[in-house]
Structure 1
Amino acid sequence: MEQLIDQFGEPKLLMASGAGVGLVFGATAYHSRFCLRAATVEVAQLSFGPKLAIWLVAFAAGLAMVQIAILSGHLDVSTARQLAGTGSLSGAVTGGLLFGIGMILARGCASRLLVLSASGNLRTIVTGLVLTLTAQASYRGVLAPMREKLAGIWTVSGGSERLLLETTPVVGIACGLALLGALAFGMSQNLRKSELLSAALVGTAVFAGWFLTYRVAAVSFEVVPIQSITFTGPSADTLMALVNERVLPMSFGLGLVPGVFTGALSVALVTGEAKIQRFEADTPMEKYLAGGVLMGFGSMLAGGCAVGAGMSGGAILALTAWVAVFCMWIGAIGTHVLMTWGRDARSVNS
């Protein structure tokens, strides 16, 4: 790693790492149909099927690999933002609920929107832009004061208070068993081996993000943030860089977003699934736009999107991340149930 840093420098190496992790995530997320929204819909319908299995395999793979790496001394995430800095439990709860609601309205989370946009889905491109602009406004713009006020209601100090559990041999064994259980559940759903492998590689990409940035940070003379896959912040940074900068600043996040897009596009082209998809009568634009706004604000308030908080933060056992992803599930399930009940009621009345 020292030789690579000497030859290329930290920024180029981080950007290449982000691009490589993004390629793997984009390709495998597209092939496996990895999607938190789809998993929550199955649970809301009390049909625990293949979409839930895909999410569980991906989550368990990332969790097991990260925890085993920490336990074996090959990874240290104590300085990661999700653990070291002051966190917000009120933000995790409120932001998670808003994100879950938005996920249902937009028919996909931030990562799913990016993956599907690579196949020519214009609905996800428009929704993703709205999500990204709202996230930027929530971080530094007109919505920032509201986000800060909500986040300040219930905070938690960085360090051990933000750690859900200490990494111990028992925790490592439990994570490994969780992965085996998820794989067994996936096999019971008659998923193809390539889909199960792709789901596991989604989790592996999350681990790779943590491991690669840690390895660079460990030998660098510069301060390098240890991070993994997340989409709201990097998408906003990428958009603002394209708009405001003549030369793109190199970072892990700015390599991640185009990497995911390229990986998903490659699979869509190979499988012949790439095609233009527009808003139709049964896919009203207003629902997608409202979903994008709720996810953009919710993710910034919760400290990450369904992958940033749910997968990356969850894998390092960050307390606020687990609270956020739990509330995403609650918000999404509740919204789907209410929308289904509303449609059923209208059908009866008509």
Structure 2
Amino acid sequence: MDAFFNDHEQAVLILGALLGIAYGAIGQWSRFCLYRGIEQRFTRSDTGKLHSFALAMACALLLSQVLVELTGIQFNQTHYFQSNPSIPLLIVGGLMFGIGMQLANACGARSLVLLGSGNLRSLLVLLCIGLSAYMMMSGVFANLRIGLENLTRVPLPSASVPEALTIMGLSSSVSRWSASLVIAAGLLMYASRSEHLRTTPRNWLGAAIIGVLISAGWWITGVIGADDFDPVRLSSLTFVAPIGESLQYLMLASGMSLSFASVVVLGVILGSFGRALLSREFQWQAYDSVGQMQRGIVGGILMGIGGVLSLGCTLGQGLSGFSTLAFTSLIALPSIICGAYISLRVFKSY
């Protein structure tokens, strides 16, 4: 890598941008979206998109664990690994994110892809996500969040499924692979039940590639970004805090540096834009009514706040966090799905 880049930070930024471009293009082509799967299951009993997401989860899990085996990166360095998380806030945040996702008709990742395709509704949603996320992280609600977290923390004997198995006497490698293989096998069995998934390359190939991209994100930050004196924070694809960070960079670029998260966000928009142009699918779209705009605003705010409380979004917790088998992800993801389902039941008719 030294022959191509000046330093590890430049390498991370360039590769991060390429990662975002790849996700944007694949997301625009495959229409990959957890919320769309939940909605189709609710309205039409069509589980194709849910099976697609399960396939992506299995691919991300297996490839990320292979990466751990080959490179020795430590997922306990990520924010998903917490031995005393605020479980109530994880659940509440997940529910809020799921409800917001339904109101806005897309999650943060899908909103970035839609923006690249000309959907101006997504621009407003993304602005609301970024603003409300940073209000919770370091803005006017930060002290409230920290206080609630400290009041509701629940000590756990371990931060992940493999760590829990090591307490039972298994070695680290055996614990990691036994958990990974069993869970991945269950996901693959569920995914294989969908004939529509098996016969539609757009769904199964798109899901598989996105699983690869999750592990690529870990490789970029954990291997290429490794440095004894100035390591890049270990992370992969996630889109709540990074959207807020990107907005902050747009306003304060002269006083801060680009980050992996920001270039991924930009890359997603560019990748989706490029693929939409090539396929002649780019089309300007806007809100049809004031009510629709109101739902988008409320949905974006709920996703920003909920994403911070639950430590991630459908990509951050559903794929990146899940690929580490952290307990926080196993709590947050079902909460997000439950929130979207409840919101569909309550608001779909309006």
In 1, Cα distance between equivalents of 2:176 and 2:326: 15
Corresponding position: 1:61 with 2:69: no
Runs (5+) with no aligned partner, structure 1? 344-350
In 2, Cα distance between equivalents of 1:254 and 1:246: 15
More moved, 21-30 vs 177-186 = 177-186
Contact 1:88–1:154 (Cα < 8 Å) also in 2: yes
State the shift of 1:124 in Å. 0.6
Structure-2 residue corresponding to 1:174: 182
Structure-2 residue corresponding to 1:119: 117
More moved, 67-76 vs 106-115 = 67-76
Structure-2 residue corresponding to 1:161: 158
Contact 2:33–2:53 (Cα < 8 Å) also in 1: yes
Contact 1:119–1:268 (Cα < 8 Å) also in 2: yes
- Measured against aligned partners, the alpha-carbon deviations of 1:204-252 in whole angstroms (never above 9, x if no partner) come to 1111111221113444431321111111111111111110122761321
Q: Which amino acid aligns with 1:270?
A: L
Corresponding position: 1:306 with 2:314: yes
State the shift of 1:70 in Å. 2.7
In 1, Cα distance between equivalents of 2:220 and 2:183: 21
* 1:157 to 1:17, Cα distance in 2 relative to 1, 3 A: farther
State the shift of 1:320 in Å. 1.0
Corresponding position: 1:31 with 2:29: yes
* 1:289 to 1:90, Cα distance in 2 relative to 1, 3 A: same
Contact 2:49–2:203 (Cα < 8 Å) also in 1: no
* 1:28 to 1:220, Cα distance in 2 relative to 1, 3 A: farther
Structure-1 residue corresponding to 2:101: 103
More moved, 113-122 vs 247-256 = 247-256
Contact 1:64–1:179 (Cα < 8 Å) also in 2: no
In 1, Cα distance between equivalents of 2:292 and 2:180: 45
* 1:237 to 1:246, Cα distance in 2 relative to 1, 3 A: same
More moved, 52-61 vs 316-325 = 52-61
Q: Which amino acid aligns with 1:65?
A: L
Contact 1:97–1:332 (Cα < 8 Å) also in 2: yes
State the shift of 1:149 in Å. 3.1
Equivalent runs, 1:6-25 vs 2, <5 Å: 7-25=5-23
Structure-2 residue corresponding to 1:79: 77
Q: Which amino acid aligns with 2:74?
A: D
Equivalent runs, 1:188-227 vs 2, <5 Å: 188-189=196-197, 191-227=199-235
Structure-1 residue corresponding to 2:171: none
In 2, Cα distance between equivalents of 1:39 and 1:333: 11
In 2, Cα distance between equivalents of 1:318 and 1:288: 31
State the shift of 1:156 in Å. 4.5
Instruction: Supply the RMSD in Å over aligned alpha carbons.
Output: 2.4
- Measured against aligned partners, the alpha-carbon deviations of 1:274-320 in whole angstroms (never above 9, x if no partner) come to 11111003961101100011001111111111111221111101111
Q: Secondary structure at the match of 1:228?
A: coil
Q: Which amino acid aligns with 2:340?
A: A
* 1:18 to 1:88, Cα distance in 2 relative to 1, 3 A: farther
Contact 1:25–1:263 (Cα < 8 Å) also in 2: yes
* 1:190 to 1:177, Cα distance in 2 relative to 1, 3 A: closer
Structure-2 residue corresponding to 1:278: 286
Corresponding position: 1:258 with 2:255: no
Runs (5+) with no aligned partner, structure 2? 164-174
Structure-2 residue corresponding to 1:234: 242
Q: Secondary structure at the match of 1:30?
A: helix
Contact 1:114–1:261 (Cα < 8 Å) also in 2: yes
Q: Which amino acid aligns with 1:308?
A: G
State the shift of 1:187 in Å. 4.1
In 1, Cα distance between equivalents of 2:290 and 2:193: 33
Q: Secondary structure at the match of 1:162?
A: coil
State the shift of 1:86 in Å. 5.4
TM-score, structure 2 as length reference: 0.89
Corresponding position: 1:143 with 2:137: no
Q: Which amino acid aligns with 2:318?
A: G
- Measured against aligned partners, the alpha-carbon deviations of 1:49-69 in whole angstroms (never above 9, x if no partner) come to 222122122222111211233
In 1, Cα distance between equivalents of 2:144 and 2:120: 30
Percent identity for Structure 1 against Structure 2:
29
Structure-2 residue corresponding to 1:348: none
State the shift of 1:44 in Å. 3.1
State the shift of 1:169 in Å. 3.0
In 2, Cα distance between equivalents of 1:182 and 1:246: 49
Q: Secondary structure at the match of 1:141?
A: coil
In 1, Cα distance between equivalents of 2:199 and 2:24: 19
Contact 2:117–2:281 (Cα < 8 Å) also in 1: yes
More moved, 49-58 vs 295-304 = 49-58
* 1:178 to 1:192, Cα distance in 2 relative to 1, 3 A: same
